[in-house]
Amino acid sequence: MSAKENLGDYYADSAYTPTKRQQWEAANPERDTIIGSRLTWNRRTQENGTNEEYGYNNIAISQNWEAQREEKGLVGDDIFKNMNVRYDHQCIMPPNYKAKAGFFHTTTAICMAGGYISIFFLFFLVPLLFVPAFFNGDYQGSWEAAKGLIKTLLFLSALFYTFYRLGNWLLKNHSDIFLGMKKSPLWQANRQTGLLTIYDPRNAWKPRLEAPFHECDAFLQSSPDTQGSATYSLILYHPFQRIRQKLDAQFPPTNMPGELVAAWQFLQRYMDVSQPLPDVPGLEIHRHKDPTTAAADQQQGRNPRYWRDMDEASVQQIQEEKYRKNIRLR
């Protein structure tokens, strides 16, 4: 797509710009809401994104997806139907994992954490059992208590390690099970059309909602994790259709609310056709295909291989800088 091409020939009339949101808010000051912290819309979103958006591996992942798409000649919805994911200059359509995939992900993560906790207790809690013996001289009693605790912790460590290794074995040898994905999407955000589509989870590819992106409100909702700490999710909610959608598939829940504020800013920037695409590693190979982005990059003299020519350590340094900035966002 040439940077000189008329933008009106490429973007739909419904494509998002901040002016549309400002006008919509002015026309709808009283609207339905949900529990949670409603996030603000930015008139001009700064360059931002979550820690994961700046991952160095995203370069190779995007190149792999693009190679598959070109090899198979995929366009439009066929991209997701064949690859179970879409992430480019036109559309974000994240994977829709099956319930068993979520179970394997969660179980493997819990087992890894459980193993570390068991080892921690083994080396730091067991010695504490001998502290009373220094005062009362009952070393035999302390040793009996320590033996029981050691047996329990060794059993738990072995159990956690076994399930952790099983999860990794499945990931390596049977990724179709560990990363099982449905052939239909959860939602899509389309930059070219400006529409947010939420699909019916019980009826593949049937939209529950198809509405202009600027008509949705964004919320942070919190719920306790297994340790009782607050875990936050980013939710889009249409106040008139009263339909909500968690964006966990693209922006995972976290105990750092600033990361999801950055995710919300990233999504706004992605959808805003008056601004270039977010400058993140995974979108670099698509920047020249988007008219607004191509024109801005040409004007600024941006190196089209900015991320791809950078070494991994340098990308990780930028990623860390972004993360430190994000955790302070509110």
Percent of the chain's residues with pLDDT above 90:
59
| Report field, pTM of the whole predicted structure over 0.95 | no
Digit-coded pLDDT (tens) for 92-149: 999 887 655 555 556 666 777 777 777 777 776 666 656 665 565 666 666 666 677 7
Digit-coded pLDDT (tens) for 241-261: 999 999 998 998 898 999 999
State both tokens at 46.
Answer: 């700064």
Query: What residue ranges do the domains of the chain occupy?
Result: 7-87+185-326, 100-178
Q: DSSP class of residue 181?
A: B
Quote the mean pLDDT of the chain: 85
pLDDT number for residue 102 = 58
Q: What is the mean pLDDT of residues 71-100?
A: 90
Digit-coded pLDDT (tens) for 290-320: 999 999 999 999 999 999 999 999 999 999 9
- Four-residue CA torsion sign, 167, 171, 173, 176: positive
- Four-residue CA torsion sign, 286, 288, 293, 296: positive
